[in-house]
Amino acid sequence: MPLGKLSAKQIANAYEILDELEGVIEGKKKGDVTFLSSRFYTIMPHDFGRTRPSLIDTKEQLASKFDMLNTLSDVALAQAMQKEGVKGNQAVLESV
């Protein structure tokens, strides 16, 4: 899925799921790692080819997914700022 197709809400929902997974992995919450991993991959599509998606069941995997979401959030913000900057520059040029 192209980055432009990901919404801020999808990324926020993915963060919530990873927070739930973190609680389950650390033993602070009860939950189903398989179900939560599946929900995460449904919201944040990945390309696994013909292989089965891996469970997000270690702190290392969890940290990797949090890093991925942080990067996606930063890129989405930069794209939004760039888009607004282009509009702002056009308005300035038109007023001159």
pLDDT tens-digit readout, 9-67: 999 999 999 999 999 999 888 889 999 999 999 999 888 889 988 999 999 999 999 99
Q: What is the pLDDT of residue 95?
A: 46
Residues 93, 96: Cα–Cα separation, whole Å: 5
Q: What is the pLDDT of residue 23?
A: 95
* Both tokens assigned to 26: 């650390």
Domain ranges of the chain: 3-95
The CATH classification of domain 3-95, taken from the options 2.60.40.1180, 1.20.142.10, 1.10.3080.10, 1.10.1740.10: 1.20.142.10
pLDDT category at 71 given cuts 50, 70, 90 is very high
